[in-house]
Structure 1
Amino acid sequence: MRITRLVAGSVTAGLLGLAPIAVAAPSHATDNLTTTTAATPSETELVYGEDLYVSVDVDASDGFSASRGTSTLYAMEAGSAAWVPVSTGTSASSTFFDVKPQATTTYKVVYSGYTATSTSEDTYAPSESAAFTVSVARKITYPSSGFVIKGKVTPDYGKKKIVIQVSKKQNKGFKKYKTIKTKSNGKYKIALPKRGGTWYWSFIVKGDSRYEANGFVWKTTVF
């Protein structure tokens, strides 16, 4: 028993005399990385007044997302040849919310890139997404029931035509009934005839260089 105590004491003394070994932190040099920017809209077809959001993904050549820099959403409205900045996010892959095109518009996202300011950071090259187009149709309002159909077409649809067609079937067989014109403020009104049976009336607003066509189908029934 006495020998055991001596050995134990000897080992303890030896441990107390060990000096700690310093471990060096791994070194890091700045990498120059290329990037790829992808932009995905939540919708590609809207009615005037509706909005969408655009998701952004900026990937670097090291397989990770870019951790520095910002991205900007640009728009080019139908009829224009210039890109206009809409909004700049707080980070490279910020999502752009509440994007509300006023007409058919083409968008793209441009990533600014980033230049490292220390050896603990990487440098990211700028890049931009493929362009995408969001189609916008004019908005048409109408009542919920009745034979008198009235409402408003917006925007910019004063003194313009609404084509009305009629059919006994909901999805086919439409023939022209009448063409009416809106007032200067885009409002319209027409009293449909009270034909016996069930009839379907198609109201069509034609498209143009800035807006897609739009319309609705109205049903009347007289027993």
Structure 2
Amino acid sequence: MHITRLVAGTVTAGLLGLTPLAVSAPANATDNLTTSVTLEQNYGSTRLTYGEEVSFISEVTASDGGSPYNEADTVTLWAMPAGTTTWTAVESQPGSGYISWTNFKPQQSTAYKVTYSGGTATSTYSDNYAASESAPVAIGVARKITYPRSGFVLKGKVTPDYGKKKIVIKVSKRKNKGFKSFKTIKTTSTGKYKVTLPRRGGTWYWSFTVKGDSKYLANGFLWRTWVS
């Protein structure tokens, strides 16, 4: 009986010497993540004619490779028209995954960007997301010029804001080169114009050009006449 008690005591002493196991942090602990947000034109050219639409897409990505999912987060589209220095908010949407910005008609050449608001975790199952901003995208807008479908008498209108301004007309026997000055005409106070082209024998190409300015890109069209 005495030996048995010694063995039991030895075993008990050994158990008391065991090192306690480390306690790990819960798997759902909140992380502090950085983010990036993009802005890209959905389709078409970065050069528009006045009255045309532009569409964009954006994506918010967190540094863990996922998308933010806090309900209060927002992504905002901003615009800065040419000649100004202030960004103005256009529209805001929930800030997760892919975002579409559609059916915008820039009134003049305009730079666009988007910002992501960032978000604070609302529970141990969500994360903190830092705010971020996209690179700007510049959309150039040219004035619109209307003209007839055929004939030697050309009349139409240049919009917007092109009253009492010049339209430069050049002429060439070749379609893509060799243009020489023909005449310069002026629009009316409302931007309308009218000109009668001469009935020259053979085929001729006429270049009509509206100059650009601080708000609008240059624009124009090519006209063909022929007399057999």
Q: How does 1:50-65 map to 2 (within 5 A)?
A: 50-65=52-67
- Distance of 1:107 and 1:137 partners within structure 2: 17
State the identity as a percent: 60
What does residue range 66-81 of structure 1 map to in structure 2 within 5 Å? 66-68=68-70, 69-81=73-85
Letter in 2 for 1:56: S
For residues 171-216 of structure 1, give each alpha carbon's deviation from its aligned partner in whole angstroms, at most 9, with x where no partner exists: 1000000000000111101011000000000000000011000000
Separation in structure 1 between the aligned mates of residue 149 and residue 57 of structure 2, nearest angstrom: 36
> Where in structure 1 do 4 or more consecutive aligned residues deviate above 3 Å?
90-93
Matched residue of 2:94: which SS? coil
Shift of 1:77: 0.5
2:50 aligned residue (48, 51, 63)? 48
CA contact (8 A) 1:149 1:190 kept: yes
Q: 2:68, 2:95 within 8 Å by CA — same for their partners in 1?
A: no
Q: Distance in 1 between matches of 2:195 and 2:133?
A: 49
Q: What amino acid does structure 2 have at the position aligned with 1:29? A: A
Deviation at 1:90, TM superposition (A): 3.2
Query: How far apart in 1 are the matches of 2:156 and 2:131?
Result: 48
Query: 2:93 maps to what in 1?
Result: 89
CA–CA distance in 1 between the matches of 2:33 and 2:141? 38
Q: What are the ranges of 5 or more consecutive residues in structure 2 without an aligned counterpart? A: 1-25
TM-score (norm 2): 0.84
Distance 2:202 2:46 in 1: 39
Q: In structure 1, what is the Cα distance between the partners aligned to 2:102 and 2:76?
A: 12
Larger deviation: 200-209 or 89-98? Answer: 89-98
CA–CA distance in structure 2, aligned partners of residues 62 and 204 of structure 1: 52
**Counterpart residue type for residue 95 of structure 1:** S
Q: Distance in 1 between matches of 2:196 and 2:94?
A: 53
Distance 2:68 2:175 in 1: 52
> Root-mean-square deviation (CA), in Å?
1.1
Q: Hey, what does 1:39 align to over in structure 2?
A: 39
Amino acid at match of 1:39: L
Q: 2:207 aligns with which of 202, 211, 214?
A: 202
Letter in 1 for 2:164: K
**Partners of 2:53 and 2:103 within 8 A in 1:** yes
Q: Distance in 2 between matches of 1:66 and 1:100?
A: 30
Mapping 1:176-187, distance limit 5 Å: 176-187=181-192
Deviates more, 1:42-51 or 1:212-221: 42-51
Q: What is the one-letter code of the residue matched to 2:148?
A: P
Q: Extract unaligned runs of 5+ from structure 1.
A: 1-25
d(CA) in 2 for partners of 1:148 and 1:70? 54
- Residue of structure 2 equivalent to 1:16: none
Matches of 1:58 and 1:146 in 2, distance apart? 53
